[in-house]
Amino acid sequence: MGAGSWTAAMPDDALGRTAYVNARLLDPATGMDAPGGVLTDGESITDAGPGIKAGGAPKDAEVIDCGGLCLAPGLVDIRVQVREPGEEHKGTIKSAGMSATAGGVTTMLCLPNTMPIIQDMSGVEFVARRARKIGLTKIYPYAAVSKDLEGRDLTEMGLLAEAGAVAFTDGGKAISDAQMMRRALTYARTFGLIIIQHPEEPSLARGGVMNSGEMATRLGLTGIPPAAEIIMVERDLRLVEMTGGRLHFSNVSTGEAIDAIRAAKQRGLEVSCDTAPPYFALNETSVGDYRTFAKLSPPLRSETDRMAVAEGLADGTIDCIASDHAPHDEDSKRLPFGEAAFGGVGLETLLPVSLELYHNGQMPLLGVLAKLTWAPAELMRLGAGRLEKGAPADLTLFDPDLGWQVDADDLASKAKNSPFDGRPVQGVVRRTVIDGRTVFVRED
């Protein structure tokens, strides 16, 4: 696939009316799947529906013919590592924005494990200021739960939320101390905030590099047992019961953990969870002959767990799909498997790999898009993910059926460590619009 072209933000006074016509409108928030169009004025949607056609567009509007392709709200990705500040050799806010817009992502939330860590007001404000200056995807920061991500002392969550932090997490590190998690949930509840947990019991996972089991044994690699995730999920569900707090589990990857979350939701606990495409599209066999691009955290699991993740998405237990975009430079990945860094890039493959759930008949198209748009926006209380009057004019135009093969070297991401390198997929983003501005177009 060609890389496409990007356009930086324009002055507000350059924005006028635009009519996107001849589209298949998809709005998971309302269940709309119908021919029609969207009218934008400046940064907002002014109308959307079957009545918007080329002949009926306002005379002063620029008309964009969508050619019958799918027009949906821009994707909302709630788990991204941008690496800036501190590790710009792996990725930057600009490179993440280019990768995101090429993948139809108009809003993303970034983890706090940068250098310095996002744990004070200046860190929160830096991310928002840089993203606005670059003018690509909107970026909202998470802030750390614990100071220096060490799991001992709480950050000033109330002040950080006032400064713009959307939620609180220690990123790829689990909050392992039960008393610390209890305090975090209690404190966050006071301000109506959400805690995000990377559910992995560290002492069980320590030293492990892939999923425990026959394959790890055959490869001579130390395994991370599924119980590391299950135990942490079950513990934290008890703490939610104790505190009445709001808790979100990221990157769930095991059937038993999903079962526990399903039961907790049925009991009325305020819990939610997401997963990433590798956990429903790949399994541990992707490690193959020590393929470090497939070294992820949590690790790729068994085929049984992969199927359980897909089922959890289909039945609504898993609320959202996030990219878990974790860029690394070659020096971090071109190492023996045991020494290579965990993580893979995922912004540009988020939509096409998620669409496999639709193409395979596991979920309807609107159901898949819901996990990528309004569901994460609602969860994180963002004004995004809808095609309705007054909503931000954040749109993605895509062809759901066009096939292509992922080539990591062709990705817009600065880092190329994609676990899907070489995989045939279907679904191509043609245009990405943010606040009424076309910021990405793919012509080929």
In the chain, DSSP finds a helix count (H) and a strand count (E) of 15, 19
Q: Which two tokens stand for residue 219?
A: 């490869």
| Inter-residue contact 393 to 45 (CB < 8 Å) | yes
DSSP structural state of residue 299: P
From the list 343, 365, 346, the residue with the least C-alpha distance to 356 is 365
| Inter-residue contact 438 to 424 (CB < 8 Å) | no
Give the E-state strand segments of 69-220 in sequence order: 70-73, 75-80, 105-110, 138-141, 168-169, 194-197, 210-211
- What is the CB neighbour count within 10 angstroms for residue 137? 31
* 417: CB partners within 8 A, 6+ apart: 292, 293, 326, 327, 328, 332, 333, 343, 344, 345, 408
CA distances from 279 to 17, 218, 268, 309, 377 (A): 41, 22, 26, 7, 21
| Residue 178, amino acid | A
| Residue 302, amino acid | S
Rounded to 5 degrees, φ, ψ at 305 are -65, -40
Q: At what angle do helices 255-266 and 303-314 cross, to 10 degrees?
A: 30
Q: Is the peptide bond before 116 cis (omega within 30 degrees of 0)?
A: yes
- Annotated catalytic residue, options 324, 394, 421, 435: 324
Give the E-state strand segments of 42-153 in sequence order: 44-49, 62-65, 70-73, 75-80, 105-110, 138-141
- What is the CB neighbour count within 10 angstroms for residue 403? 12
CA angle 302, 307, 310 (to 5 degrees): 130
| 324 included as an active-site residue | yes
CA distance 226 to 327: 25
- At which residue do the structure tokens 């394959």 appear? 215
First to last CA, the chain: 8
* 233: CB partners within 8 A, 6+ apart: 199, 249, 252, 257, 260, 261
Active site residues: 324
